[in-house]
Chains A and B, each alone.
Chain A
C-alpha cells in the first residue's frame, strides 16, 4: 500500500496540469502566467500543461482580487475540478486584495472564496516567482 501511495504522490508531483482563471485582475499577472508558459521558461519540463477545462486540471491559477460578480463563477470552476486539487493565488491582489482591498465591489483575496494552497506575491508576479511557487507547492506534497 505504501508503495502505491508513494507512486501516486510522485505522479502528482511530476504532472501538474494547470488551468488559468482571471478573477478580476488588471491582466498584468495573466501576461506573466502566459510568459511562464512560453518556450523561454518552458514549464513543460516540470510536466506542467495548460488545460482548457477544469475537469482535466489539478492546479487552479487565480490572478486578481475576487470581485463580487465573479465570486460565484470562481467557486463553481473550483467545484468542477476533480480531487485532489490545488489553488495558487498569483499576484498581490489575489493574495490579499492588493490595492482593491476594502473596495465596495470586491471580496478581497482569493482565500475569501476558496481554499488556497500557495501564495505568490508580486505586482505583477514574475514568471520566475510563479515557477518557484509551483515547484515549492509540488515539493510540499511529499510531506
Chain B
C-alpha cells in the first residue's frame, strides 16, 4: 500500500466531504436555520459565529457522567452517531458522482442515517434518568412512525430511474426534469419526515423541553453534548444532500468547483424549507404524530409509488 492510496481516502474522510467540511457546513447551516427561524418570528437572531461559540463553550465545560449509567456506552455514543453520519456522506454525490457509488447505496444510506437515531435512544436509555428514559422511548416510537414514509418517498425516484444507485437516480432526475413535477408529493413527504428524523419542531416530541426536560440528552453535558449537537448538524447536511440528490437532480450536471457551489446552494435551500416548517408549526403529541405518519403520509407515498410505476410502464 503506497502513501498515495492511503492519503486520498483519509482526505475524503477527514477533510472533504468528511469530518471537516461537514462540521463547518453543518454549523453554518445551523446558523442559517436559527437566523431564518428568528427572522420569521420578527427577531434579530443569533450572529453567524453562534454555533461555533456554543461548540467551544460546551467543549470547555465540565463533563458530568451519572453514577449509575453505563460509562463506556455513555462516552462513546456521540462519536458513533458522528461516524455513521460521516460514512453516509461518502455515499451522497457532492460532485456529479458519489465517492463510492454502488448498486443499493440508497438502502445503505437510509440504514446509516438510522444509526444516529439508535444512538439517541441508547444515550437516553443508558443515562438511567426517568426523563432520559421517556425521551429514549419516544425516540424509538417516532422512528417507527417516520421511517416508513421516508423510505417509500425515496423509493419513488428510484423506481422511475430503475436503479438503487443515488448517483444514477440524480443523473436520471436531471435528464428528465419534467418528472420532478410528478414527484412533488414525494418530495414534500421526504422533507416532512426528514424533519421528524432530525427531531425538529413539529416532531420534537423526544426532547420537548416543556414536558421531559431535555429528552434523551437530559444527562449529557460538556464535550459529549457538543459532539451530539455536531452530529445532529451533520445529519441535517446529509439529509438535505440526500433529498437534493434523489429528488432535485444533485449537482445538475455541473463539474468541479461549480458542482460544489450548486450543492451548497441547493442544500441551503432545503434547510430553509425545513426552518420554515419549524417556524410555522407547534409541537404535536406522539400519538398524533404516529397517526399522521401512518394514516396520511404512508398512503400518500404509496399512491406516489403507484403513480411512478404507471409512469414507468408508460415511458418504458
Contact = CB atoms under 8 A, between A and B. Distances in A.
Q: Please indicate whether A and B come from the same complex rather than being unrelated chains.
A: yes
Interface of A: 7-8, 10-12, 14-15, 17, 39, 42, 44-45, 47, 50-53, 55-56, 58, 80, 82-84
B214 A56 contact: yes
Interface stretch (B42-50, B160-168, B289-297, B304-312): B42-50
Contact of B214 (A12, A45, A51): A51
A11 B57 contact: yes
B141 interface: no
Given A7-B56, A84-B61, A52 B213 contact: yes
B46 A12 contact: no
B64 A15 contact: no
Contacts of A12: 57, 60
Nearest to A16: B57
Contacts, number: 88
Instruction: State the 4 A-B residue pairs at the shortest beta-carbon distance, nearest first.
Output: A11-B56, A14-B53, A52-B209, A53-B214
A24 B22 CA distance: 46
A52 to B, nearest CB: 4
B62 A83 contact: yes
B47 A45 contact: yes
Interface stretch (B94-102, B174-182, B219-227): B219-227
A45 B47 CA distance: 7
Interface string B33-65: 010001001111111011011111100111110
A52 B219 contact: no
B195 interface: no
A11 B60 contact: yes
Please indicate which of the listed interface residues A42, A44, A50 has the most CB atoms of chain B within 10 Å of its own CB. Answer: A44
A15 B214 contact: no
B54 A47 contact: yes
B288 interface: no
B49 A14 contact: yes
B210 interface: yes
A51 B209 CA distance: 7
Please indicate which of the listed interface residues A47, A52, A55, A83 has the most CB atoms of chain B within 10 Å of its own CB. Answer: A55
13 contacts: A7-B56, A8-B56, A10-B53, A39-B43, A42-B45, A44-B43, A45-B44, A45-B47, A47-B47, A52-B212, A52-B218, A56-B214, A82-B63
